[in-house]
Amino acid sequence: MKSVKGEAAYVRQRTLKSAIHCNGIGLHTGTKVSMTLHPGDPDTGIVFRRTDISGSDTTIPATWRNVVDDRLCTSLGNDDGVCIGSIEHLMAALSGCDIDNAVVEVNGPEVPVMDGSAAPFVFLIECAGVVEQERPRRALEILKRVTVGNHQRRASLAPGKNFSISFEIEFESPVIARQECTIIFANGTFKSDICRARTFGFEHEVTKLRETGFARGGSLDNAIVVSGDNILNQGGLRYDNEFVRHKVLDCIGDLYLCGGPILGHFHGYRSGHSVTHRLLKALFADDQAWRYTPLKDDLQASENRQAASVQAPA
């Protein structure tokens, strides 16, 4: 977007330059699945489409209003009962890469888990390329603090000049114990500090999870597995505090269901998908707590001010 010298330009929306494809398995269903990311039109957001179903509407907009299940992962559904599960890692990658509009075609009930992190999706997006679109990008600006939960699990959103997350987790497992992480998202911090963090689970819970329809595709190739005092993965951890970083990753994906980037600070204490979705519902239920605002390019504004200063007569 063009701007007058000294004034901020609006950040443009972004989409993929070309389509790109991948194959994998669903973490919870264990089924083989193919996925293709396509460019999206301006102002259409992220849209999922099931290609293995006919005779009904298979389009599912990625919005918090369409969350139908948040047990261990985030699943979306439409009015025809068509669902798509485990969308949070891909949504985190789209958020971290500033992709506003895309169509995600999947030929199964679940987004492929890949290696259990968002890194493979970031790689796909980078391979496809990114283009700007002739529409201003809008951000969700937090105007006042909103909190949900209790002393055991809670989450909040508060005003802030940029997007930041602080997260605390606490497990009885000595391998995880208590971990904290605070990230301000700017200058590629998602890719460098968060996107490679993998999902995790406990060996003693695997049988029960599979009996209830979860983790049927889980393995050491796509999750960190904790057994007692040990991590079973041969390569160990990618970050010293990979567990809490993955919780941040999940949170980023779930928050992107608000429809754009956030200007504000999220704090989570032992929270997960369910608490984050409750927080978004509470936020949007209060018209005084938020507003959408065009996202301004402060860097461009700074460069404009510097150029004006140089060109000004003595």
Task: Indicate the domain borders of the chain.
Answer: 11-300
Backbone angles phi and psi of 284, in degrees to 5: -75, -15
What stretches in the chain show pLDDT beneath 70?
A: 1-8, 298-314
For residue 275, give both structure tokens.
């608490």
- Provide the β-strand partners of residue 178: 170
pLDDT at position 88: 98
pTM of the model: 0.91
Interstrand relation of 83-84 and 75-77 (parallel, antiparallel or unpaired): antiparallel
Where does residue 40 rank: exposed (0-12), middle (13-18), buried (19+ CB within 10 A)?
buried
How far is it, in rounded angstroms, from Cα 37 to Cα 16?
A: 8
What is the tens place of the pLDDT at every residue in 64-77? 999 999 999 999 99
Where does residue 177 rank: exposed (0-12), middle (13-18), buried (19+ CB within 10 A)?
exposed
Catalytic residue IDs: 273
Side chain identity at residue 311, one-letter code: Q
User: Does residue 84 contact residue 7 with C-beta atoms inside 8 Å?
Assistant: no
Class of domain 11-300: alpha beta
pLDDT at position 298: 66
For residue 50, give both structure tokens.
């099931």
